[in-house]
Chain A
């Protein structure tokens, strides 16, 4: 059933365009039925899971390499699955209103449903490869959704950036997961969680941890990988709501929580995870309140929230995990709601710039009310669920045994600035005496206020019913992360304590910054110059660096000059060959030079061959070159005669004669030779290449012929060519019988050559067809003199 629940989203995505065609404006409502159904389905798991049960559903997939479609419903995955399907339903309904007049809305539905299914897959999978597959699918669907307005360059840039950053992390994660599976000896996550000591005790533990965290940190936008998330706001608001605040960016958090029994509990884990989280939460909170765009404020405060979650997972105590899971729920509700509010404001009032907005509550009372509900939860005001979350955060930081004070200070500043951000988003546009907006605002339609009102109300309800939420949702999740059954008692009121005092001071600090945010913003403005050299610049530098290096190496290798290509190949062959010969000590073990009886006439022919070969390289006329080549061939043939192979010699004579005649006939009409290499260094290189190539071949032949000949075929051919094949001439029998199949192939080659020559001479498409293909070079700047025009880069 869980498999079907996960895959149903993909199936529905295939039919979404058709449903849109039929349903039009109602399509959002129709499509939302699926996530609602999934939500209800998972809700039925809540009571048994709260009792401590877990459900495993396994289905084989690729058993040859240990990959199964296994799913595990425990407290953690259940909590995530309900957030994903619940927020998913609201977002799809919301999008039906927000994108109502957009021509690509059908595509939106396709991708958002695919995303939902992938995200469910991530949180439910129990196989390290299956989880990775869904993980990557969320990156891909996110790419398609960020690039929704794909005709805008900034959308494309942001989509690519998000894909590359999360994709890089994803690949690290893949390596990490495979290594973890190999070390832990299982591909099932539930098995690996039982083998935490094996994994943390392994010598590969630190690399595994780094690789897995690289995946989690990039996905969950931790510093210094955070920059893609604010840029991803180029996506339509429903996407920002769903992917980039409520669900996808929490996949990294899920991953760390899921694997903390296997990877956590070590000093390395605590130090690394806590410090990345702490730095991220504070830096991002500090960026958030300085922004003017509603979505940018929300984006940075999302990064900050992800930092808080990471930090809490790093601390890893019972209190911290409790805090993390409560805050996760809190954040999904208020941030999802506020994003939808921001979208509604943008949609109805025509801008997201807070400087231009005020008093909207008069025109948009329902949206305004939803904003207030969400804003109060975000600020952690009792009796909202956010208050419970913030109390727990302070509880865990003050108990942190490594450096409680420092971490609490970080948390204090972060929480305070979060309140400022909440006020900027939920107070600034809606309050104030004067109604101000670029266009005349109206209340948003039902589709668009349903989501934020629901989420805002839930934030209040969860606060009031904190005990119940703790027992049924939070406790099972904490148990899953801790990997043993545990209890959670949530309450709004903990009595008067240090922590309550801290909460009050936080609120005061946040309100103070909000009150003076314009003045403070000017003070801090210069510090933002730093972002010019910040991580986002590193991203662009590395991209440019990669491309620059790529161009350099490609120009070096793929230079466009056939001459260079030949030289590289010849030198590679000779170099590798010589290295191998010396590596195996062939020179010391084998004879190369040995006394051979060379008669005077043999020596004469040899001298003739060498001399003619030299002439070929020196003459300026083609005819002379062809003639000299012919002499080389004849010389070789004569050596065949002298060595007792007259049949071979006859063949060679006829071939040489024929080729000289043919070449002369063809070359007669062509212009004179063009000197390829004029400069001295080039000549030297070419002479070296020629000598190296020839010398290496000669060396090889000497080595082989120094050994006793041991042809296995010759005696058989000699013996059987008449006896079995009924032919006197052994060469003929070899050609037409023993190896007749070769001859068939060679005849085919000749036939094809004839077809080719005919086609080349007769068919000229140049005049009729305009092509647009570039030559084999990147740039055409350095046109040097020694290029033979037809052979080298003609077009420019």
Chain B
């Protein structure tokens, strides 16, 4: 049993509990939250090191052999996701020190943040479908509370849609898990993979696969299931939007990749073609939504959808390079998208609005903020040599290698439209003359006064640039992760479920 697998779940759990115990001590909460976040990141890195050196790692909870207990599994993809989660919570943890108001801090903002991370890490590490459902519940509950905490009207409005649609997803997921259990008698993923590969009752299994596609697709916000996302992401504080934007939908993408590379690979020509078609529609529909919005966070929210399309495009293409492209895209996207939300939060703090119409002139007053916006914005649009370009390139090359021209056309047009809407924000918020006149001194505090906000933004921007300029190690990692995904035997062997019910 490898303790490293449990740490990414236990660290945020314990952090959360300690924070709840220190309910009335805000200064302690603020400091300890950052410590817990850093610990999570370190645990993730240690786990990656272990998996990189020793292959897929497994922990059987309670010492019960698979498939009877609950198994935690860490392959490269899981480790990458856990590390990204660590980077996110550390950045948001620092950012929140200045972004989150006293009221929210007093009502459990920090414990909720860490419990959310517990759910997210759990989802990345579990090797058990029902356990995944539990982590989804942890995530859903803590994210819902974070979303509506503060009780502002539009928060509640968004929150209700968020929770209703996600509960529907949970219901479909649970129904599918139940039917799956009735069919093959197990919920351990590796065990399921073995049973499904026997090819019995393929029709029912494929039908259940589509239910998983829908359930995880709602979580991932793919077309036409994404409604909850643009309804809610623009309502909470910027830090919360940022961590949601970075991580939540990616949990959905991760689970889609997990089950559609490990379990449901009976008839790739059917399931993965559906995924590819949905990827195309998701990209186009999301970016068209973004192009027509006029509020910074709404634009960014619709772009999340669009880019989910790219991530599952790699899954749909189902080649080593394509999956590597998806993995790389996830790495790039989490960093960049969260950062854009963080920048939007700074803009809101400086000018009190997210509306493009009312903003302007920030490049004149804050050129450095402009640069910090341009890096993730151009990266998002796939401008070389930033991280987004490599992600896009890998996917497009992978698609061209197998003559999948339509999806290439969609991906390229969407990337142009992404550039269009990023330059729209740039033009309206930064370039355009400020529609309201601000006295030079009073309302324009120097950025150094916003250090807690700027440090994470600059850090994430630095990561984006580094991934862009020194992409080889990241690509090597993504390619190895993809190879693992395409070889389920490795995963199954590591979990080593007791075969065929014999004891």
**What does DSSP make chain A's interface, helix, strand, loop or mixed?**
helix
A172 within 8 A of partner (CB): yes
**1/0 per position for B95-112, CB-CB distance to A under 8 A?**
000000101101110011
A759 within 8 A of partner (CB): yes
Complex interface residues of chain B between 248 and 301 (CB less than 8 A to chain A) = 270, 274, 285, 288-289, 291-292, 295, 297-298
B38 within 8 A of partner (CB): no
A695 within 8 A of partner (CB): no
Known contacts A168-B416, A549-B288, A717-B68; is A65 also within 8 Å of B393 by CB?
yes
Residues of chain A lying within 8 A (CB to CB) of residue B445: none
B42 within 8 A of partner (CB): no
**1/0 per position for A730-742, CB-CB distance to B under 8 A?**
0000000111111
Q: Are B432 and A151 in contact (CB under 8 A)?
A: yes
Residue of B nearest to A570 (CB): B168
Residues of chain B lying within 8 A (CB to CB) of residue A597: none
Q: Are A713 and B210 in contact (CB under 8 A)?
A: no
**C-alpha gap A590/B202 in the complex (Å):** 11
Residues of chain B lying within 8 A (CB to CB) of residue A715: 501
Residues of chain A lying within 8 A (CB to CB) of residue B292: 547, 550-551, 554, 778
B479 within 8 A of partner (CB): yes
Count A-B contacts at CB 8 Å. 342
Complex interface residues of chain A between 758 and 796 (CB less than 8 A to chain B) = 758-760, 762-766, 768-776, 778, 790-795
Among B106, B107, B270, B348: residue with most chain A CB under 10 A = B107
**C-alpha gap A557/B231 in the complex (Å):** 12
Complex interface residues of chain B between 220 and 252 (CB less than 8 A to chain A) = 224-225, 227-228, 230-232, 234-235
Q: Are B352 and A772 in contact (CB under 8 A)?
A: yes
**What does DSSP make chain B's interface, helix, strand, loop or mixed?**
helix
Taking the closest CB of chain A, its distance from the CB of B466, in whole angstroms, is 13
A129 within 8 A of partner (CB): yes
**1/0 per position for A168-206, CB-CB distance to B under 8 A?**
100110110011001000000000000000000000000
Q: Are B475 and A558 in contact (CB under 8 A)?
A: no
Residue of B nearest to A697 (CB): B175
B52 within 8 A of partner (CB): no
Residues of chain A lying within 8 A (CB to CB) of residue B302: 554
Residue of A nearest to B302 (CB): A554
Binds A, one of B78-86, B136-144, B436-444: B136-144
Residue of A nearest to B477 (CB): A64
Taking the closest CB of chain B, its distance from the CB of A437, in whole angstroms, is 30
B46 within 8 A of partner (CB): no
A428 within 8 A of partner (CB): no
Residues of chain A lying within 8 A (CB to CB) of residue B369: none
Q: Are B107 and A776 in contact (CB under 8 A)?
A: no
A463 within 8 A of partner (CB): no
Known contacts A580-B203, A710-B185, A756-B141; is A550 also within 8 Å of B13 by CB?
no
Taking the closest CB of chain A, its distance from the CB of B140, in whole angstroms, is 8
Taking the closest CB of chain B, its distance from the CB of A213, in whole angstroms, is 16
**C-alpha gap A762/B107 in the complex (Å):** 9
**1/0 per position for B368-403, CB-CB distance to A under 8 A?**
000000000010000111000110011011001100
Q: Are B270 and A136 in contact (CB under 8 A)?
A: no
Residues of chain A lying within 8 A (CB to CB) of residue B104: 763, 765
Residue of A nearest to B421 (CB): A550
**C-alpha gap A748/B348 in the complex (Å):** 34
A585 within 8 A of partner (CB): yes
Q: Are B138 and A749 in contact (CB under 8 A)?
A: yes
Known contacts A576-B210, A760-B149, A776-B230; is A553 also within 8 Å of B160 by CB?
no
Q: Are A562 and B164 in contact (CB under 8 A)?
A: yes
**C-alpha gap A547/B427 in the complex (Å):** 17
- A167, A717, A755: the one within 8 Å of B111 (CB): A755
Residues of chain A lying within 8 A (CB to CB) of residue B285: 553, 557
**C-alpha gap A55/B152 in the complex (Å):** 66
Q: Are B207 and A581 in contact (CB under 8 A)?
A: yes
**1/0 per position for A141-164, CB-CB distance to B under 8 A?**
001000100110000100110011
B51 within 8 A of partner (CB): no
Residues of chain B lying within 8 A (CB to CB) of residue A700: 175, 179, 204, 207-208
- B184, B408, B479: the one within 8 Å of A64 (CB): B479
Q: Are A546 and B112 in contact (CB under 8 A)?
A: no
What interface size band does chain B fall in? Answer: 35 or more
Residues of chain B lying within 8 A (CB to CB) of residue A792: 157
A645 within 8 A of partner (CB): no
Among B175, B203, B503: residue with most chain A CB under 10 A = B203
Known contacts A707-B201, A765-B151, A775-B157; is A132 also within 8 Å of B384 by CB?
yes
Residue of B nearest to A770 (CB): B352
Binds A, one of B28-36, B127-135, B311-319, B333-341: B127-135
Known contacts A136-B383, A550-B292, A562-B160; is A580 also within 8 Å of B207 by CB?
yes
**C-alpha gap A140/B385 in the complex (Å):** 11
Residues of chain A lying within 8 A (CB to CB) of residue B364: 151
Residues of chain A lying within 8 A (CB to CB) of residue B67: 712-713
A704 within 8 A of partner (CB): yes
Q: Are B157 and A62 in contact (CB under 8 A)?
A: no
B496 within 8 A of partner (CB): no
B476 within 8 A of partner (CB): yes
Residues of chain B lying within 8 A (CB to CB) of residue A551: 292
Known contacts A160-B427, A182-B400, A738-B69; is A791 also within 8 Å of B157 by CB?
yes
Residues of chain A lying within 8 A (CB to CB) of residue B187: 713
Q: Are A581 and B151 in contact (CB under 8 A)?
A: no
Q: Are B62 and A740 in contact (CB under 8 A)?
A: yes
Known contacts A741-B70, A790-B156; is A558 also within 8 Å of B134 by CB?
no
Q: Are B224 and A568 in contact (CB under 8 A)?
A: yes
Residues of chain A lying within 8 A (CB to CB) of residue B165: 562, 565-566, 569
Q: Are A175 and B408 in contact (CB under 8 A)?
A: yes
Q: Are B227 and A174 in contact (CB under 8 A)?
A: no
**1/0 per position for A211-233, CB-CB distance to B under 8 A?**
00000000000000000000000
A61 within 8 A of partner (CB): yes
A675 within 8 A of partner (CB): no
A593 within 8 A of partner (CB): no
A701 within 8 A of partner (CB): yes
Residues of chain A lying within 8 A (CB to CB) of residue B209: 580
Residue of A nearest to B154 (CB): A773
Q: Are B151 and A763 in contact (CB under 8 A)?
A: yes
**C-alpha gap A570/B186 in the complex (Å):** 27
A107 within 8 A of partner (CB): yes
Residues of chain A lying within 8 A (CB to CB) of residue B288: 546, 549-550, 553-554
Taking the closest CB of chain B, its distance from the CB of A648, in whole angstroms, is 14
Residues of chain B lying within 8 A (CB to CB) of residue A745: 119, 122, 131, 134-135, 137-138
**C-alpha gap A156/B412 in the complex (Å):** 23
Q: Are B20 and A755 in contact (CB under 8 A)?
A: yes
**C-alpha gap A172/B416 in the complex (Å):** 10
**C-alpha gap A164/B420 in the complex (Å):** 7
B310 within 8 A of partner (CB): no
Q: Are A738 and B62 in contact (CB under 8 A)?
A: yes
Q: Are B184 and A710 in contact (CB under 8 A)?
A: yes
Q: Are B420 and A763 in contact (CB under 8 A)?
A: no
Q: Are B151 and A766 in contact (CB under 8 A)?
A: yes
Taking the closest CB of chain A, its distance from the CB of B64, in whole angstroms, is 6
B211 within 8 A of partner (CB): yes
Residue of B nearest to A719 (CB): B503
A595 within 8 A of partner (CB): no
Residues of chain B lying within 8 A (CB to CB) of residue A763: 103-104, 106-107, 149-151
**1/0 per position for A692-711, CB-CB distance to B under 8 A?**
00000100110111010111
Closest 8 CB pairs of A and B: A584-B203, A756-B145, A550-B288, A586-B203, A745-B134, A150-B431, A133-B384, A776-B231
Q: List 17 A-B contacts (CB under 8 A).
A: A60-B472, A61-B472, A137-B384, A182-B397, A554-B292, A557-B224, A558-B231, A562-B160, A562-B164, A565-B161, A713-B185, A716-B503, A739-B131, A776-B157, A795-B153, A795-B154, A795-B157
Given contact pairs A557-B285, A583-B206, A794-B154, enumerate 14 new A-B contacts (beta carbons under 8 Å): A60-B472, A61-B472, A554-B289, A701-B182, A705-B182, A711-B185, A717-B68, A745-B135, A749-B137, A755-B20, A763-B149, A768-B103, A774-B234, A776-B231
